[in-house]
Structure 1
Amino acid sequence: MPKATETVLEIDLSALEHNYQYIRSKIKPSTKFLGVVKAFAYGNDSVRVAQKLEDLGIDYFAVAYAKEGEVLRDAGIKSPILVLHPIPSGFDTIIERCLEPSIYSEHILDAFLEAAKKHSQKDYPIHLKFNTGLNRLGFKKAEVARLIDKLTLRKEVKVVSIFSHLAATEDKNEREFTLGQINTFKEIALEVGERLGYEPKHHILNTSGIINYPEAQFDMVRSGIGLYGYGNEAIIDAELRPIATLKTIISQLHILEANESVGYNRAFKVDSRKVTATLPLGHADGIGRPYGNGNGQVFINGKMAPILGNVCMDMIMVDATGIDCKEGDEVIVFGPQTSAEKMASRANTISYELLTGISQRVKRIFLDS
């Protein structure tokens, strides 16, 4: 791999392929695979990731908002794209770009029916989202009859899938709750099919669910974080390969003596002679202030270097004492050998937040075998 000469996010598309094939191996050949590429493909690059996954034969994509789907269509992505959290201001874009909305409330249903009518649509594909316990978005089971009665009177749309979202598939202590969600979803699916008179696709599993609840594959599964190399469990992480490596360089080295301080608010004070390295990376790049004061660390020539003091907007300072290094040397923030999950946990957060927070000003570099 090339040495960094600036702050870059290196994205290994062969690792993405490995993760896709590993997850695909856990599902039946007949089960469809939906890849979640929202939030710039979890902070990577949604276009390049989607292009690679489409080449690998993925069946579906999901994004959060219409604009994200529009970007993929503009890049030539042809696969079906589910918009997980559509809002009425994006309905024209959804229809014009052949995106497929999640319908999660009566308000959204009514608004989309009017948009579909305005665009003279017939049997436009929609997905019905049901709330089985996450309590975020979705219809309740008690609303099925009224919902389907309304849909059967309209010709503008057709239900192509029903789905729900599990709350705690990675937590073995919540197995009873998860099984309850799955059973509720089965009951909803049965009633929807009977009332519609046909069977749309059913899907409920996320990455951890694919591993821990294989009996609930239904017609399709959804994977987001797993594609990017993280499985929320050590046993799954061991089988996956993080696709992103955040690299930077040493801008300057300083020798500080006892009683000197580092950075804003003098948050770190030196008690003995130290060597510090200043790096061109800060909270504007996605390394937030919670990583300061020793909660975060980087690796210089294989040696751990804790972050000293407060994270600045464009810079962090790290302890390079005892490390053989010089200005211009490469620094690894996270990657396959230095997990983003471990770094995030030290700042009391999760890999999702760290990965998706990497600023778009950080240059992306792509590797592929």
Structure 2
Amino acid sequence: MVKILTFLHSAKLGLIAASLILFAGCSSTTPPANTANSSPAATTAANTDNKTLKDVRVQLSFLMQSLDAPLIVAINKGYFAEEGLNVTYERGFGNVDTISKLGTGKFDLAFSDMYNAMDFNDKNPNDKIIAVAITQNKAPFAVIGFKDKGINTPKDLNGKKLGAPAGDGPRKLFPLFAEEVGVDANSVEWTTMEPKLRETFLLQGKVDAISGFSTSALPSLLKGGKKMEDISLFYYTENGLNFYGNAILTKASFAKQNPDVVKAFVKGYFRGLQDVLRDPSAGLDAVLAADQSKLMDRNAEKIRMEIGLKDLYITPEVEKNGLGGLDPKRMEATIAQTVAGFKLKTKPTIADIYTDEFLPPKELRALPPASDRKPLS
């Protein structure tokens, strides 16, 4: 989505006792690069018993954000190292780009959505990508407009000018959304812009509404001077398109060759997510501390995490089934919608895009009880 200076993050956990020491940069002696095309060394972790760790390369979906707190916490607390992994991560440049790079083998695992992965698989049937765990139970796909511009209900989008990058997933799915809410998709005029300009176009009145991820758009719009009461937010998940959000993805070939690595990563990640759900403020602080650029806006990242806690992570489905899983009927419906929205040549089965064989036992990925969850501050 939003493109800003590329950066990676580097940290090494000490090998003495149980203390953890965070280092910035590739090493303690080399200052980190911080340019548009290069970044510091990726964050690493080592456990306390001096055993050899397996290197695992991970790509985020976008620039590091507060929603990446589970990964950062798992690294900081040594959860991956306990599983024998030395996890490194790099920022992403959008879900489609992240999936493309995962497909090339540049990374071992990545955070992105299953629906763009289905599109990739449709074009690369012999080199498939699969989801091994769902990290966001609901997708943040949305259409967003301003009430003072006459956008109060989805039907107000009829005949309006909408904006989004050409490859935007919610834009591709808009005709299905329009059908669900009674909007004539052909009456809408689309304006294409760079991801970093999407919210600016809306704030400047160049478009009447935008499609995108609420987690990216809302912090930018609020920072631009709008208040939540000024904004109309139409979630796809609330309008007939009950999509899942991001997942942990990997190539099917990598999972087959490295099943223990995938299981270990998923286990460590969900330990980090459980910690973040118990204490989201600590998770937010961990991300801010890992930001070597020191350009992160805490208020914006707090808003992003609030959206995650309220709309993406804690749902009745997760309360029932635990973190990481999915509901087959719901998934079947979204697969059919993806085939139509992305104009896929073939309809994949659930097994073509998702497997639960790498998930920890349900008791190890349970949602923390409400009584154990501290409020975000």
Decide which structure has greater helix share: 2
TM-score, normalising length from structure 1?
Answer: 0.25
The TM-score with structure 2 as length reference comes to: 0.24
